[in-house]
Amino acid sequence: MKKLVLGFLSLLLVAGTLTAQDGKKALKKAINAQRTYDLDPSKNGDKLEEAIAAIETATTAEDTKNTAKAWITKGNIYASICSSHQLLSTLDPTAEKAVENAAVIAFEAYTAAMPLAEKRDPKLIQKGIGEIQGHLVGEGAGYYEKKEYETAYMAFQYALDAHEYLKENGKESIFADDAAVNDQMYYTGLAALNAQKMVEAKPIFSALKDAGFDKPAIYEALYKLEVENDREAGLAILEEGRTKFPDDVSLLFNEINHYLADGKLDALTGKLQAAIDKEPDNISLYTTLGSIYDNLYQKALEEGKEDAAKTNFDNAYKAYNNALERDAKFFDALYSIGALYYNRAAATTKEMNALADDYSKAGLKKYDELRKLVLTQFDEALPFFKQAETLNPNDRNTLIALKEIFARKDDLPTSTEFKNRLDILEAGGQNEASYFND
């Protein structure tokens, strides 16, 4: 059995020097107090306190601290606490635990007794661990539900360690077969992952994967554990999981986020559409898809691919509009459509400025046509930015866009108004109300 860290063993700092007989007296006192407590736990809480104090003395005193009996007794006391709480909680589900982590403390005590065992001690240790194993699982589950993942991980891992020890000694474990062991490993791995214990989590999930454990979360966990160090290796794990579980939404979203982070836009549109097909009411998926098409539109525009630019622009607008059909006041979609038109106007402005020094008749005509088109495109953006401003009068980018649009329209008072509002933000203040709601 692997070496265990006795992280939860409580030690008593005893003032003064213990005599040679203090440990034996304390051990006897602990055993008697536990027996009395077990007769009626609901009425003998003082005996439990007496047993705990006495056993701490016994496990630190020179004459008993290196005896298996002291540590087995400690294990028995804390195992008794677990059993009593289990009984009391069936009568009163709100009953509080007498001691936190009692199962963990019991297991660690039995573990401390192992190298000290003589004669019949191993049988007593095996009996104690067999009885505490189920409590370790229950204790871990309780802490997991409370999101105390590190404590949950320790209890779950000790339950697996108990299984290993019991099987080595020919005793029965609560995990009757490999499937039950794998289930426990799975929850142990999740607790480790949530506790950010990456070193401990990785071998657990790797072993489950090798065992063919059929859970998509295995691949998601291994992806997260690998991707920080090696993005390609992480992606390979993720793609393996996607092949095995093509309908799992969580794996799909991880894949989308991976490609987004790597800027692989062309590969994303189909994956996002697949996500939308699975979650048609997930409004953020539409704006994400719109953003991808928006980026592809700008890329095609820069490359002079007019047909591709138009197609991607239309697809971006459609995706954003699909979001608005589900929520007409969804700020991200309103702002994004405004930005889509605004950026198109900015691209047209750039094309127009390139003709500024062309005084030929054709050049002047083209310049005038583009100037009118720019104003039209800014006008197309304006209503969306207005709606966005009513929803959030302190969005910096919205205020910048409105300031610029009104300046282009030669509406200097309104442009100045938005400059002032922007200045308030830059100074660390907040605009109290929307301009367009006024």
pLDDT at 12: 37
Is 324 a domain residue? Answer: no
Tokens of 194: 């949530």
Task: Tell me the pLDDT tens digit for each residue of 403-432.
Answer: 999 998 899 999 999 999 999 999 999 999
User: What residue numbers bound the domain in which 143 lies?
Assistant: 1-174
Tokens of 126: 């095996």
Count Cα neighbours of 106 within 13 Å in the Cβ-side half-sphere. Answer: 31
Q: Percent of the chain beyond pLDDT 90? A: 59
Is 142 a domain residue? Answer: yes
- Is the pLDDT reported for residue 7 higher than 60? no
Average pLDDT over residues 201-217: 91
Is 80 a domain residue? Answer: yes
- Is the pLDDT reported for residue 254 higher than 50? yes
Is 222 a domain residue? Answer: no
Domain final residue pick, 174, 197, 225: 174
Is 235 a domain residue? Answer: no
Domain final residue pick, 174, 194, 210: 174
Q: What is the chain's mean pLDDT, rounded?
A: 88
Contacts of 79 (CB under 8 A, 6+ apart): 102, 103, 106, 128, 131, 132, 135
Is 333 a domain residue? Answer: no
The more confident residue out of 85 and 287 is 287
pLDDT at 190: 93
- Is the pLDDT reported for residue 72 higher than 60? yes
Is 99 a domain residue? Answer: yes
Domain final residue pick, 174, 191, 222: 174
- Please give the Cα distance from 126 to 99 (Å, whole number): 23
Q: For the chain, what is the domain count?
A: 2
Q: Percent of the chain beyond pLDDT 70? A: 94
Is 301 a domain residue? Answer: no
